[in-house]
Amino acid sequence: MKNLLKNKTIKDLIKQGLFPGLFQFLTLVVLILILVWTWPNHNIAGISASDPLIYTNLGNLLFWIYWMMGMIILVLLWGRTWCAICPIGMVNGIAGKFGLKLNYPKKLRNWYLLVVVFILLQITINISKLNHYPDLTARLIFIFILLGTIFGLLFRGRVFCRYLCPVGSMIGVYSCFSPLELRVKDKKICAQCLNRECVKGKTNAFSLCLGKTEFPVQNNAIPCPADIFPATLEENTHCYFCGQCVKVCPNDNVRWNTRNIFKEVLLPNERPFSETLFIIVLLGMIMEKFVPMWPGLQEKIFPESLPALIFYIWIYLILPGIIILLPSFLIYFISKIRIKQPDETGQTAEPVSLNKIIAYGSNIFIPVIFFSHFALALVKIFTRGGYIFYGLMDPVGIKTYRAIYQAEIIKAPESILPVFILRWIVLLPVIFGSIISLITVFKLIRSNSFNKNSYAFAIINSVVIFAVSLMFLLIVRNWLFN
């Protein structure tokens, strides 16, 4: 375990505000360029193809392939650090300086509304194919910028980022695999701290002198944008790694450590049900990406005869909900069954609550969900990433499309890696995620008090994880190995 803040360069980068400020500015510039390249472009006049600019338009390529897929891969390098440099988070923060600074309602401080937003976004992407069209991509980005601005003007802190942003919340769940963690050195020092400037912010007053004239200046360091007291941090889910607490802590009591990437995965904390619901939706999203690769299975578990709304609720909530929640209900039901001997006396162990079983049980699916998503992200980048070389020369993408598909004077970029390597890039992460999920099951029963329910917890969850993993592996086999 190494404290990165012992490195003077890294510490100065944070203390002087270059991180995340400079990086936020750079990502904002990239976002503006993406909007410029994508906003006016939908199709190409005279071209019958339905989505000719899906990969040739640089803005569309950068946003959906390099940006969205790249974030999933970079989780294994820097966790949720992306949220520290996100341009929409920057807009949210700037708006907050001029806003009303209202407290976000306590009843909404959960992920239930986020789940609704995420499902609606997935349905919109599937129905409108907005990720195929640059102009629709631009409008989606603009909507998120607008929402970030509105919530910044209304509420204090980055409410949009914590409670409504589907991307940030997704990598927040995945950041349990991060090799980095931001924690305090000594919780006793935090307990004795009266000001808590890490949460409340800090005002630095000084004067600029010009000859005998003094100009009073106030430099206000913003409080933790996630509204977290660092001493309570036990997991990475909600921490943006922005370093604000590092800047203002008067006791230099914050550390930014490297760590074993399985530390948080194998011994997870108890999750609120709203976060469990979000994990259910994530599993539904991954299944929605994998299952169509095996048409026979798709016909059986994704019945297209259902009305559109019911169909998507089935994909994102009902089916994955059954997979994740049914084991917990079975374990709880088994825990209520006991045989009482006629002469039995004394107290018996109380069954573990259903809420606890669900809260811990949902964690075991995160490894297989994340590494399956990780595999799909790698495939997208390796198979479509080659368009970047054409995109840099022709950002709009119209000339590139005509040169490839009409004039045929250049070739469409091939996959960066051949298929015989890609198939293993998909298969091995799925196997790895499945193994970690199974190990997590047995780690949980050792570290938590499941009483006599431990065997049921281990057996039932292991069977379900094995079944889900087998389904993904058979899909990969049918997709890439036949």
Q: pLDDT tens digit string along 138-195?
A: 999 999 999 999 999 999 888 999 999 999 999 999 999 999 999 999 999 999 988 8
Most confident option among 120-134, 215-229, 236-250: 120-134
| Crossing angle between the packed helical segments 419-447 and 366-384, to the nearest 10 degrees | 160
Kind and range of the H or E run holding 426 = helix 419-447
**Residue 250 CA to its chain's centroid (Å):** 32
Grade residue 216 by pLDDT with cuts at 50, 70 and 90.
Answer: low
**Is residue 367 predicted with pLDDT exceeding 70?**
yes
For 341, the 3-state DSSP assignment is coil
Q: Torsion angle of alpha carbons 243, 248, 253, 257, nearest 10°?
A: 10
Are the C-beta atoms of residues 35 and 138 closer than 8 Å to each other? yes
- Using CA of residue 175, residue 181, residue 182, residue 185, what is the dihedral sign? positive
Q: Record the tokens describing residue 339, joined without a space.
A: 């045989």
Region of poorest pLDDT, from 200-204, 376-380, 426-430: 200-204
Q: Record the tokens describing residue 114, joined without a space.
A: 């986020």
* pLDDT tens digit sequence for 304-352: 888 999 999 999 999 999 999 999 999 998 888 765 555 555 555 566 7
Q: Record the tokens describing residue 387, joined without a space.
A: 């368009």
Which amino acid belongs to residue 140? L
* pLDDT tens digit sequence for 42-73: 999 989 889 999 999 999 999 999 999 999 99
Side-chain-side CA neighbours of 141 within 13 Å: the count stands at 27
Q: How many CB atoms lie within 10 A of CB 185?
A: 17
Question: How do the residues of the chain divide into helix, strand and coil, expressed in percent and rounded to 5?
Answer: 65, 5, 25
Average pLDDT, the chain: 90
Are the C-beta atoms of residues 466 and 473 closer than 8 Å to each other? no
Are the C-beta atoms of residues 424 and 479 closer than 8 Å to each other? no
For position 215, what pLDDT does the model report? Answer: 63
Grade residue 15 by pLDDT with cuts at 50, 70 and 90.
Answer: confident
Partnered with residue 216 across adjacent β-strands are 207
Q: Record the tokens describing residue 61, joined without a space.
A: 């390529």
Most confident option among 95-109, 209-223, 273-287: 273-287
- Using CA of residue 397, residue 400, residue 405, residue 406, what is the dihedral sign? positive
For position 338, what pLDDT does the model report? Answer: 64
20 preceded by a cis bond (ω within 30 of 0)? yes
Partnered with residue 221 across adjacent β-strands are 202
**Is residue 274 predicted with pLDDT exceeding 90?**
yes
Task: Tell me the CA end-to-end span of the chain in Å, nearest whole number.
Answer: 44
For 255, the 3-state DSSP assignment is strand
For position 217, what pLDDT does the model report? Answer: 56
For position 43, what pLDDT does the model report? Answer: 93
Distance CA 204, CA 418 (A): 57
What is the largest distance, in Å, between two alpha-carbon atoms of the chain? Answer: 96
Distance CA 72, CA 375 (A): 9
Distance CA 368, CA 430 (A): 6
For position 320, what pLDDT does the model report? Answer: 97
Region of poorest pLDDT, from 121-125, 323-327, 343-347, 377-381: 343-347
Q: How far is CA 120 from CA 70, 116, 243, 286, in A?
A: 23, 6, 33, 16
* Closest to 98 in 3D by CA, of 51, 22, 156, 161: 156
Grade residue 218 by pLDDT with cuts at 50, 70 and 90.
Answer: low
Query: Strand 213-221 vs strand 202-210: parallel, antiparallel, or unpaired?
Result: antiparallel
* pLDDT tens digit sequence for 396-448: 999 999 999 999 999 999 999 888 899 999 999 999 999 999 999 998 888 77
* Closest to 450 in 3D by CA, of 349, 330, 352, 338: 352
For 220, the 3-state DSSP assignment is strand
Are the C-beta atoms of residues 106 and 155 closer than 8 Å to each other? no
Q: What single DSSP character describes residue 467?
A: H
Grade residue 270 by pLDDT with cuts at 50, 70 and 90.
Answer: confident
Query: Strand 213-221 vs strand 254-258: parallel, antiparallel, or unpaired?
Result: unpaired
Q: What pTM, to 2 d.p., does this model score?
A: 0.92
Partnered with residue 206 across adjacent β-strands are 217
Which amino acid belongs to residue 78? W
Q: How many CB atoms lie within 10 A of CB 162?
A: 23
Question: Which residue is associated with the tokens 């992920």?
Answer: 111
Are the C-beta atoms of residues 181 and 80 closer than 8 Å to each other? no
Kind and range of the H or E run holding 211 = none
For 250, the 3-state DSSP assignment is coil
Which amino acid belongs to residue 149? T
Average pLDDT over every residue of 16-38? 91
Q: What single DSSP character describes residue 63?
A: I
Q: What single DSSP character describes residue 155?
A: B
